[in-house]
Amino acid sequence: MRRESPAPNLMDYLKRIFRRRGLKAIRLNLPVSLILIALASAAATIAMFGFQPTSIMEIWECVKESGYMIALYNWLPVVLAMLVLYFASNSAALACGLVGAAVSALSIVNRNMINMRQDPFKPNDILLGGEFLGIAKSISKSTFLAVGAGAFLFLLVFTLSLILIRNKPMNLIARLTGAAASLGILLAVNSLVLASPEIYASLFMKGNIYNQTDNFQSKGFLYSFIYTMDNSRVKKPYQYDKDAPEIAKLLGAERADSEHVLKPNIILILSEAYSDMISSPHLDFSNYADPMKNFKKLKEESISGYIVVPNVGGGTSDTEFDIFTGMNSRHFRGAPYAYSLIAKPISAMPSVLSFLGYDNIAIHPGFGWFYNRQNVYGYMGFSRLIDIESFDKTDTKGMYVTEEQTINKIISEYEEHMRSAPEKPFFEFCVTIQNHGPYLDKYGDSELNFSSDLNFTKNEENALYNYIYGMLDCDRELGVLTDYLRNRPEPVVLVYYGDHLPSFEKSIYEALIPHSDDPAEELIRLYKTPFLIWQNDSAKKASGIDAIYEEMSIEGDWTFSSSRLGAAVNMLLGFAGSDPFIDEANVIYESYPVIFESQYVTASGSVELLGEKDEHPINFYRSWEYYNIYNEKQQAQ
């Protein structure tokens, strides 16, 4: 029986054409292959820098000011990876093509992620397929066509290179030795250099040193990507195994349902980048509208203070995580973002309120896939997420859904609940989005709206007046909402707070947020955002919030880590006993109001260091946090 010959593939087809035309493959020896790899790796590194959204001149400034170390640290993994693959395959064309294509593709993904969500491409993002599909929906057809055309062109050139550029045979022992040596050097460079926090922090950069995007932009994508991968691990607390049995026992205690306590409707608003840093004495609004006029008026009749959030200039979902769960996202720095840890039902503010009889919804005029909110909100106990699909996408300012439309949605959903289920208390959460950065030229029709005794650069001034333009809209709509709620007959509690400082150049922070001689104030100066807990007249008459707060005898601004805000609201409402971990969070933060990774601020205001092996209540709290996330038996109660 005659065997059927296999169908010819593209490479076979091209080989036949080349034979007919008398074209022969180039045979490279070892020295020429090494030169080719050196040139290809340099070209791939330059291409990576070119794919970054920032200007090539700014990149060059960072490279030059770092003593060219930034260029070296981005080039080394490329050239060493090419050498490993070259010796393993005995093909310089294969090594240069595959490694060059891989780093270029990752760089393009990074560019698009920064442009679309102001966040770089990090190692853990590879696992978030759903988020990628969500981003893909926002990419234009022309971009997809360009990417497709580029991929086709690469495959064609790559195939031709494999046919026309061959290597001379190399001894197997030499190949294995070369591959092993290259891999060993790559691992050593990674361990000793690329993974070093000291080296990474020492390099010159532009922008905000606390902003991960600015670090990626300044220090190069590949080096930053590898550094993040090397330092992205959630570590089990040292005392966890000892603490876990006690935690399980506490979780088994009976919960109070607060049956006889007033249950007012609750509206919780995370206002994007809301900050009172613009109240600096260096900014004068005497001849302009005050961008915090309504907030200041409401403070006079509210409980107010500051939350100390986990990030500067970004990280909205980490602040959300803190407030809803009572856990401190600083203790999970190894995760790409705290919401990525929630993959099952978990006890959180929404589920606790649901246990107490509340209906609840979440509103976010952005994509539901972003930070996996479409799943995480359900795991935390929200019954429904209203995302951008329920908003008018043409009603935008500065690229995002307007503050006016967002507040109107809060009011309309509130009214719908009061029509359909007025007998049930209602919890409504909203993340606003209009005043999201970046702020340079954000609002095209904005003009100078402040005066100052400082000499800001043109770009600094532009970013500030654009941010303030958005703050004016936030303040106006805050007034609209409270005017509406003030006249409602049922008791309503409004909690309003900022998620982080606006993302500015470091120079603006230095100008408007002065350093302090007080160690505690210096520690938290770039992490403070204002909050207020406001009640309408009906709630003030019927609730015990003010009485509970007065018993606490707070002096000055009530300041604490953002992971206490949800727990504090739970306590002020008289819901103590409804969740053991939330109760524990209130106890911990009463004694240690602000908790960082390895430092904490005591109730008396001193800053103390905390070792992981110390027998300390905070370390027990950290064990409980870890238990909540990683113990398979722990579910929402």
As a whole number, the mean pLDDT across the chain is 89
Across residues 244-260, what is the average pLDDT? Answer: 84
* Burial grade of 76 (CB within 10 A; 0-12, 13-18, 19 or more): buried
Distance, in Å, from the CA atom of 414 to the CA atom of 377, rounded to the nearest integer, reads 19
One DSSP character per residue, 360-429 reads EEEE-SS-TTGGGHHHHHHHHT-S-EE-GGGS-TTSEETTEE-HHHHHHHHHHHHHHHHHH-TTS-EEEE
Is the model's pTM score more than 0.85? no
Q: How far apart are CA 563 and CA 359, in angstroms?
A: 23
**For residue 167, how many other CB atoms are within 10 A of its CB?**
22
Tokens of 432: 């606003």
Q: Pick the closest to residue 580 from 567, 562, 563, 565 (CA basis).
A: 567
What is the structure's pLDDT at 212? 76
For the packed helices 30-51 and 56-65, what is the interaxial angle rounded to 10 degrees?
120
User: For residues 495 and 298, is the Cβ–Cβ distance under 8 A?
Assistant: no
Structure-token match 């409401």, residue found: 298
Q: What is the DSSP string of 531-581?
A: EEEEE-HHHHHH--HHHHHHHHT--SSEEEEGGGHHHHHHHHTT-TTS-HH
Are the CB atoms for 501 and 509 separated by under 8 Å? yes
Q: What are phi and psi of 361, to 5 degrees?
A: -140, 160
**Residue 374 CB neighbours (<10 A):** 17
User: Strand ranges (DSSP E) for 148-255?
Assistant: 165-167
Integer Cα distance of 545 and 263 in angstroms? 11
Sheet containing 265-271: give its strands across: 385-386, 359-363, 426-431, 265-271, 492-498, 528-535, 303-308, 558-561
Per cent of the chain over pLDDT 90 is 68
Does residue 216 have a pLDDT over 50? yes
Structure tokens at 382: 């929200």
CB 348 within 8 A of CB 381: yes
What's the average model confidence in pLDDT over 45-61?
Answer: 91
Question: Around Cβ 245, how many Cβ atoms within 10 Å?
Answer: 9
Distance between CA atoms of residues 455 and 173, nearest Å: 66
How many Å apart are CA 549 and CA 530, to the nearest integer?
Answer: 17
**Dihedral pair phi/psi, residue 263, rounded to 5°:** -115, 90
Q: Which of 522, 563, 128, 82 is nearest to 343 (CA)?
A: 128
pLDDT band at 135 (very low <50, low <70, confident <90, very high): very low
Distance CA 83, CA 61 (A): 29
Sign of the torsion formed by the C-alpha atoms of 182, 188, 191 and 194 = negative
**H/E stretch holding 307:** strand 303-308
**pLDDT tens readout for residues 151-205:** 777 677 777 776 777 888 899 999 999 999 999 999 999 999 999 989 999 999 9
Distance CA 515, CA 517 (A): 7
User: Lowest-confidence range among 76-80, 145-149, 194-198?
Assistant: 145-149
pLDDT of the residue at 546: 93
CA-closest candidate to residue 266, choices 390, 326, 354 = 354
For the segment 209-224, the average pLDDT, to the nearest whole number, is: 86
Per-residue pLDDT at 196? 93
Q: Is 428 exposed, middle or buried (0-12, 13-18, 19+ CB in 10 A)?
A: buried
For the chain, list the domains and their CATH numbers: 10-230 (no CATH), 263-630 (3.40.720.10)
User: Which range is least confidently modeled, 230-234, 374-378, 525-529, 593-597?
Assistant: 230-234
Tens of pLDDT, residues 357-411: 999 999 999 999 888 899 999 999 999 999 999 999 999 999 999 999 999 999 9
Q: What angle do CA 121, 385, 430 make, to 5 degrees?
A: 85
Q: What is the mean pLDDT of residues 109-114?
A: 80
